[in-house]
Amino acid sequence: LCGTEMKVLEDQGRFPVIMGHEGAGIVESVGEGVSTLKAGDKVITLFLPQCGQCAACVNSEDNFCIQFKQSETSLMSDGTSRFTCKGKPVYHFANTSTFTEYTVLNEISVAKVDAAAPLEKVCLISCGFSTGYGAAINTAKVTPGSTCAVFGLGGVGLSVIMGCKAAGASRIIGVDINKDKFEKAKEVGATECISPQDFKKPIQEVLVDMTGAGVEFCFEVIGNPDMVAAAFASCHESHGVCVIVGLLKYGVQLNINGWLFFSGRTLKGSVYGGWKGR
């Protein structure tokens, strides 16, 4: 289970449920009316569907398909479950339920991939890699020569680092209290890594001191409201961009000094890295 799944279970979980929202597989069969996929196709699952018709799908800058918001994600879109155990229904998760050998998905929640793609690798494109990489490329629009900071060096945070590197950032600072993650972060592109526990002053002050005026692009990849505030305060006062990538628990309020917005900082959200999955 990833951190996002744990938070969803705590906030609005319905049981029993088959978890998993990241996966790849081969289409076993298709239902009536399915036109874009056929049996034998190699695909990835999409927790964020793409209907192709709603205002979000037709907007070039948007990817938050209305079908994701309107669907009861513990069930199929028609209000039923395709899973049973001993005659009783079992709930779906995130329109995907990938922790099973067979699952049933809507056509708009599946994307066909190249027949030569290795399933054990492309499964990461269905959430983790795409979410992080896209946050840098699509949401933040990291610029060449810029300075970036990434709070949280899990799989998604590492993918953010890859995105920053691909965009040409000259300095990428990884931030995590677990120093065991530093080596891998540097392997994929971090130029340096720091732990907030090694400093007596707040991490945002440390980053401002390190960079002279704050980082140009900052990413919170944990889902911790205190770290969101710290990441935002780490941004350059006039043109810094902070992107929230980690899922915050439902109903959590952010405590951010409103004065920080006065000079021009930007705080943005990102889901699935801004990609239209299909």
Catalytic residue at 5? Answer: yes
Catalytic residue at 85? Answer: no
List, in sequence order, every residue forming a beta bridge with 110; answer none if it has no partner: 45
> Of 19, 21, 76, 164, which is the active-site residue?
21
> Of 19, 22, 51, 76, which is the active-site residue?
51
CA–CA distance, 92 with 37 (Å, rounded to integer): 21
230's tokens? 């710290």
> Of 19, 22, 65, 165, which is the active-site residue?
65
238's tokens? 């006039």
> Of 2, 184, 210, 239, which is the active-site residue?
2
CA–CA distance, 170 with 185 (Å, rounded to integer): 15
User: Do the Cβ atoms of 231 and 218 come closer than 8 Å?
Assistant: yes
Catalytic residue at 6? Answer: yes
Catalytic residue at 148? Answer: no
User: Do the Cβ atoms of 261 and 116 come closer than 8 Å?
Assistant: no
Angle at 249 between CA 245 and CA 254, to 5 degrees: 75
Catalytic residue at 21? Answer: yes
> Of 19, 76, 127, 162, which is the active-site residue?
127
> Of 19, 54, 164, 218, which is the active-site residue?
54
> Of 5, 22, 216, 220, which is the active-site residue?
5
Q: Which residues are catalytic?
A: 2, 5-7, 21, 51, 54, 57, 65, 127
